[in-house]
Each structure stands twice: as structure tokens, then as C-alpha cells.
A and B are shown apart, each in its own frame.
Chain A
Amino acid sequence: MELVCPAGNLSMLKAAVDHGADAVYLGFRDDTNARHFAGLNFTDQQIAEGLKYAHDRRVKVFVAINTYPQPHNWKRWAAAVDRAAGLGVDALILADMGVLDYAAERHPQVNLHLSVQGSATNPAAIGFMQRHFGIKRVVLPRVLSLAQVAQLIQNISVPVEIFGFGSLCVMVEGRCLLSSYASGQSPNTFGACSPAAHVEWRDTPQGQETRLGGVLLERRAPGEPAGYPTICKGRYWVDGELRHAIEEPTSLNTLEILPKLLAAGVSAIKIEGRQRSTRYVTQVTQVWREAIDACTRNPQAFQTKESWRKILAAVSEGTQTTIGPYERTWH
């Protein structure tokens, strides 16, 4: 089972490589990838440097070009594919069928992974993508239960990567427009959910307010913890009650079901968080490396260590973690 870690910059890439990642993933400095935030991501030269650093240590590098170009900006996505292919990266993580078609035709030697943004959640969809574009891996949207993941793997011949840790998307990735509904920009079109330019934080007599595109997502009492504001974790009135109508401000942690993921035949675990820090990548990579090694050695005896739990809890956004959709009761 491969450990795939986030690299928002060169320092994070080196931290991931040094602390046990089997692969790192990263993006160019624009909206061609789904973590398009100011100060984040790589120039071509930085990718070349990161590639050398990683390859010298036998770690793979994947480049995410996983947003959806439109006619007016199509050329930039095509150029991103060409640039990444030219750099000799180990795989491209793509979502759009047009971009996949382009990459498969122009660069048949390059490995293509279907991004989580590609929204393939079943054998027919994955088989379709494999048949047309020769995808070598699929990253599953966070919708299937563990049993469904296991069954899916039995029914496809494409290796499966799943999200194991980090921020939890509640909606099927690639088909969530909540962010653009409030701000005009979505992960698909802009490469970011809740783009920072549209987020407001304001202290008011009623409490601290966070808004996206002017819409009030949360108003919390002083001292209540605040994560990065996304619509799906906001608190609203529903049926006369004020509540987190979609999901609590929680993040994903699948460490305790690692033996089951291994037994299900999951090929790779992805750690979310290119927008986080070098410290985050260092700690999370260390813990997951240790855990995957322990689990691979002896799955029956696998137990999560208290020290792992503490480290992961300290770097989790929000106050709690969840196994999320892998656990059927979450649905």
C-alpha cells in the first residue's frame, strides 16, 4: 500500500520524501489544480528540483491537473499537461474528459490517474475511463462505505487510491457547486473551494461571523473553534433548529480501519492537505508511514498507538475526526 502525501511547496515535498512518503502530489501555480491558493504550488523549475529530490530517493511525483478548463482557457490546461509530461513526472492526476483525451493522445507514455475530481464512484464509470483513457489508478470520491470500496475493487482492474486523512469533502468531488453558488468560483472552475478573496471574518456583538460571498456561514460564540469556512460545515436554521445541517466541522481520519483498507485491496492512501504546512506534512507522513508499515507486517495485531492519535488530533482541522463515509452509519 502506497502512501501519497501532499506537497504545497518544495519544503513540504522534501518533508514528505524525508519522512516516508512513497509518492508526493503537487500542482502548478494556477487554477489548473484544485488547491489554487495564493503562495502555494510550484513553478516548472521547482517541480524539476522536487522531481530530482524525490527520484534520487526513489519517491514518485504526481502532478494534479484536476480542474475543468473552459473554451477560453483550454490552452493553459493543455500546456500544463505538456509541461508536466515534459518534466518526466510519474503520473498526471486528471479529472476532465477533454484533458484526459488530450493527455492520452499526446503523451501515451505518461501514466494517468483519474482524480477524485473525476467523480467516478462505480465499476462502470471507472471501466469507461480505463477503456478510453487507459487510466492506471482511480482516486475515489469520499462517498463509498468500506464494504462498497471492497466490492468495487473486486469488480475493476484499476488500482484504487482513497483519501485516508485530512479535510473531509462531504459532497461528491467534481460535482459540488456550493462554493460557486455563494462566491462565483468553484473547485471545478477556479481550483478552490471557498476562495480566500471571498471569505470574510468579522467580530460582531453577536459573535464572530464568517461569510463566503456575503453569505453568513457561521456565527460563533467567543472561544468556539473556527475551521476554514466552507458551506458544507456551516451552521444554519433547519426546521426551527440551529445546526450543522450538512456536516460538523470535522475532518477525516481512517487510521483505525487501516487493516480493513489493506484487506479490501486499497492500493494507495492519499493524505489531503497541500494548503497546510511543512510541519503538518512531516507529522502526518511520519505517523502514516509507521502505521502502514506496522499494518503490512502484521495486520491482525495492528493497533493504533496513542502517540499517533495525539499527533493526528493536534493537526486536524476542527475539533473532531471521523471515519466519514467509509462507516455506513455516516451516510
Chain B
Amino acid sequence: MPERAGFNMAEIQRPRLSLGPILYLWPREQVFDFYAEILETPVEVIYLGETVCSKRRQLKPEDYWELAERITAAGKEAVISTLALIESEGELKTLKRICADQRFLIEAGDLAALEFLEGRPFVAAHSINLYNQRTLDFLIKLGLKRWVMPVELGRSTVADLLKYRPVGVECELFAFGRLPLAYSARCFTAYNRGLGKDNCNFCCGDYPGGLLVTTQEGQAFLNLNGIQTQSATVHNLLPALPEIRALGVDLLRISPQSQHTAEIIRIFAACLDQTLDPLEGTMRLRQLAPGELCDGYWTGQAGYRLGMALEAH
């Protein structure tokens, strides 16, 4: 979208920064240390909870609630995220227990969570398929307060939905990190170690940033994280910041990575505060990202493509 004439940046509300849930299996202590570090950053909303694999129980719901209390005490908003794929009765029970807690806003990762959250405010994760205004209307009637756009949807659909959405309903974009692309019954980390999911030995813990998949000609392509398949490239919407502001997007999500997350948050925050140019910020992000940057989904291209910023530099 071209810059509008007479555009006054100060009149536009600044999107808030959010931190997505940790998608990888990190040791318990590292998780606590991570959030302690994050509390010192300018991020305003923090999502936390296990969204990928129910076998990962190094943190229980009680631990996440405790962290959420600390986050709230630090003046930030805590949101409890839930599993994206629910298969077993045990997973459903845990989900029900998480959804029974009324203290924090909850992010629904699967349709099952909608069943439990209906009638109170909730967030729809990017793993809930909200592609159009009628779905938005339907979920608003149930209590939707905020939704994270499915990651494959680009600026034209974001613009259309933002024009349509009622006051008080917030739109969040997955703005930085490896893209969550797919979920399966199979654990791909275990599969590639010659193990089954039932006897996985928690081998995903050996890959705090996921297990890289490279094409036969050396292109870093995918990143395996248990039952989740991510992009190997790192989605970055920072160059689109002026446009994102103009559209009225409410939140920008940064997805945690095993290193440099706090620094990445600070770069985004500086760009939001207009003390750093988004293209300069992107050059810095390139040094901190675990893979090449991409942004194709935003402009309606293949997700792995990079079109917005770096090619011009």
C-alpha cells in the first residue's frame, strides 16, 4: 500500500508488541530464566503455555499460572495458550482444566478450546481458521476478543478484515519468527531419530531451535519441532511497519527463539517508537535470526520468499 498523503503517524495508535508461546522443548529452568529476561523488555503481552506436544510436561499448568502472575505483577498482560492439536482424552482433560481457570485470558489453539471458552472473552490462535468476516462474526458472538491471523494470509485479507471488524476486537499478526506451518499425529523429531512418538525420549529437547530440513541443493527449507513443522526461514514483517500501522493492526507477535529474543523485542520496540528505521531494524534482525528472513505471505507470494526489504539493500 502506498503512503497516504497527509498521513499523520501520531494519530494512529501504535500496535502493541506481544511474545508468542515458546514452541520448543526447553529445560524447565531455562523457561523460567527466559521469562525473567523477557520481563525486562518492552513487550506488552506475553502468551505462555504448551501449544505443540502434550507429552512435554516439564512445566505444568500451575507453573504457567505462576509465571502469568509474575507477568501481570510486572504490568504486562499474560495470556495462556493451549494445544493446537487435541487427539487424546488426557489432552482434552488438561485443556478443560486450563480453560476452567478464570484469572487470565486464554488463547484457543484448537476448536476444542472454543467449546470450553464460549461465553467469555478469548483469543483465537493462528491455528484456528479465521479466514473471513462471517467466521469473525460467529466467533465474536462466542466471546472472541482478539484473533491472530492465520499465517498464510497476507495484507489484502488483513486489510479487508480490519475494515470490517467491530470496535474492541483486536487483530494480531505473527510478525517475527519461524512460521508454524503444519501439525501431524507423527512426531517428526522422533521419526528422524528412528523413534516413535510413544517412546520419543523427549528427543525434541536436543533441538532448542528445532531440527533443520535442507533440500538436496542446500536450501534451508523446513524446521521440525515435534509434531509441528515450521519454516526454516524466519518470517519478518518489520519492513511493513508503516503499512501495518496504517491498517490499524493491534498487536505484533514475536515468536520466541532460543537466543536473542529480548534483543529482537527491543529492535521491534525501537521501530514502533520511531527511534529506529524499520529497514535498519531489519538489517539488525538478520544478524539475530536463526535462518534467512522471509516475508512472502504478506505480499501474497510463496511464504518462503523475501520481497520487501533486504533485496533492495
Which residues on A are within 8 Å of B, measured CB to CB?
A: 68-72, 74, 95-99, 101-102, 119-125, 127-129, 132, 142-145, 148, 151, 155, 170-172, 174-178, 180-184, 186, 188-189, 213-219, 231-232, 234-239, 242-243, 245-247, 325, 328-331
Contacts and interface: CB of A to CB of B under 8 A. Distances in A.
A30 to B, nearest CB: 16
B215 A184 contact: no
Residue from A95, A144, A331 having most chain B Cβ neighbours under 10 A: A331
Interface of B: 84-89, 91-92, 95-96, 110-116, 118, 127, 129-139, 150-153, 156-157, 160-161, 164, 179, 181-188, 191-192, 196-198, 211-219, 221-222, 224, 229, 231, 296-297, 300-304
B145 to A, nearest CB: 17
A329 B198 CA distance: 8
B127 A175 contact: yes
A149 to B, nearest CB: 10
Contacts of B301: 184
Contacts, number: 222
A155 B112 CA distance: 14
Contacts of B304: 181-182, 213, 215
28 contacts: A68-B132, A95-B129, A99-B134, A121-B85, A121-B87, A122-B112, A124-B95, A124-B111, A124-B113, A142-B185, A151-B89, A171-B182, A178-B181, A178-B229, A180-B152, A181-B152, A181-B304, A182-B304, A215-B221, A234-B215, A235-B216, A236-B214, A237-B216, A238-B211, A245-B224, A246-B184, A246-B229, A328-B198
Contact of A236 (B95, B216, B231): B216
Contact of A119 (B111, B152, B157, B213): B111
A331 B111 contact: no
B303 A177 contact: yes
Contact of B185 (A123, A124, A214, A330): A330
A128 B115 contact: yes
Nearest to B231: A181
Contacts of A246: 184, 186, 188, 191, 229
A176 B181 contact: yes
Most chain B CB neighbours (cut-off 10 Å) among A123, A148, A246 = A246
Q: Is the interface of B mostly helix, strand, loop or mixed?
A: mixed
A105 to B, nearest CB: 10
Given A71-B133, A237-B213, A238-B214, 8 more contacts: A71-B161, A71-B164, A98-B134, A98-B135, A181-B179, A218-B216, A325-B186, A328-B196
A102 to B, nearest CB: 6
A282 B152 CA distance: 37
Nearest to B134: A98
